[in-house]
Amino acid sequence: MNGPLDGIVVLDLTRVLSGPHATMMLADLGARVIKVEQPGTGDETRQWGPPFATAPGREDVDPGVSTYFLSCNRNKESITLDLKSEEGKETLVRLIRHADVLAENFRTGVLDRLGFSFERMHEINPALVILSISGFGHDGPEGGRPGYDAIVQGEAGIMSVTGPAPDQPTKMGLSICDILAGVNGAYGIVAALYERTRTGRGRVVRTSLLASVVGAHAYQATRWTVAGEVPQAMGNDHPSIAPYGSYRCADGLIQVGVANQGLWRRFAPVVAIDPDDPRFTTGADRSRNRGELGVLIEKALATETREHWLARLAEAGVPAGAIRSIDEVYEWDQTRSQGLVVDVEHPQLGRIELPGPSLRFEGAPPREHTAPPTLGQHTDDVLAWLDEVD
Decide if pLDDT at 296 tops 80: yes
Which pLDDT score, from 0 to 100, does residue 144 have?
86
Per-residue pLDDT reduced to its tens digit, 303-348? 999 999 999 999 999 999 999 999 999 999 999 999 999 999 999 9
Looking at residue 153, its pLDDT comes to 98
pLDDT at 370: 97
pLDDT at 60: 64
Q: How far is CA 73 from its chain centroid?
A: 13
- Report the first-to-last Cα separation within the chain, whole angstroms: 22
What's the average model confidence in pLDDT over 275-290? Answer: 96
Partners of 245 in the β-ladder:
256
Please compute Rg for the chain using Cα positions.
Answer: 25
Residue 111's identity, in one-letter code, is L
| Confidence at residue 59, expressed as pLDDT on a 0 to 100 scale | 64
Distance CA 244, CA 233 (A): 15
Choosing from 178, 274, 276, 387, the catalytic residue is 178
Q: What stretches of the chain show up as alpha helix (H) in DSSP?
A: 18-28, 67-70, 86-98, 110-113, 118-124, 149-155, 176-199, 209-214, 219-225, 261-270, 283-288, 290-301, 306-316, 326-331, 333-337, 379-389
Q: What's the mean pLDDT in 350-372?
A: 93
The pLDDT value recorded for residue 215 is 97
* Amino acid, res. 275: P
Give the integer Cα–Cα distance in Å for 49 and 65: 9
Residues 6 or more apart whose Cβ sits within 8 Å of residue 102: 10, 11, 13, 96, 121, 128, 129, 130, 131
Mean pLDDT, all residues of the chain: 95
Q: What is the pLDDT of residues 260-272, one digit of tens each?
A: 999 999 999 999 9
**pLDDT for 91-137, tens place per residue?**
999 999 999 999 999 998 999 999 999 999 999 999 999 999 999 99
Write down the pLDDT at residue 63: 76
Report the alpha-carbon distance of residue 92 to residue 84 in Å, rounded.
11
Q: Which CATH number fits domain 244-324: 3.30.1540.10, 1.10.1040.10, 3.40.50.1980, 3.30.1360.120?
A: 3.30.1540.10
Does domain 9-216+336-389 fall under CATH 3.40.50.10540? My reply is yes
The domain locations on the chain are 9-216+336-389, 244-324
Q: Residue 293: which of 332, 359, 247, 251 has the closest Cα? A: 247
Q: Cα–Cα distance between 172 and 357 in angstroms, integer?
A: 22
DSSP string computed for 284-337? HHHHHTHHHHHHHHHHHHTTS-HHHHHHHHHHHT--EEE---HHHHHH-HHHHH
What percent of the chain has a predicted confidence (pLDDT) above 90? 92
Question: Cα 189 to chain center, whole Å?
Answer: 16
- Does the global pTM surpass 0.85? yes
Confidence of residue 364 (pLDDT cuts 50, 70, 90): confident
Average of pLDDT values for 5-21?
A: 97
Question: Does residue 367 surpass a pLDDT of 90?
Answer: no
pLDDT at 45: 97
Side chain identity, residue 178: D
Question: Is the confidence at residue 1, as pLDDT, over 80?
Answer: no
Determine whether 178 is an active site residue.
Answer: yes
Using 50, 70 and 90 to split pLDDT, how confident is the model at 231? Answer: very high
Angle at 271 between CA 269 and CA 276, to 5 degrees: 45
- DSSP secondary structure code for residue 346 in this structure: E
pLDDT tens digits along 50-65: 999 987 776 666 678 9
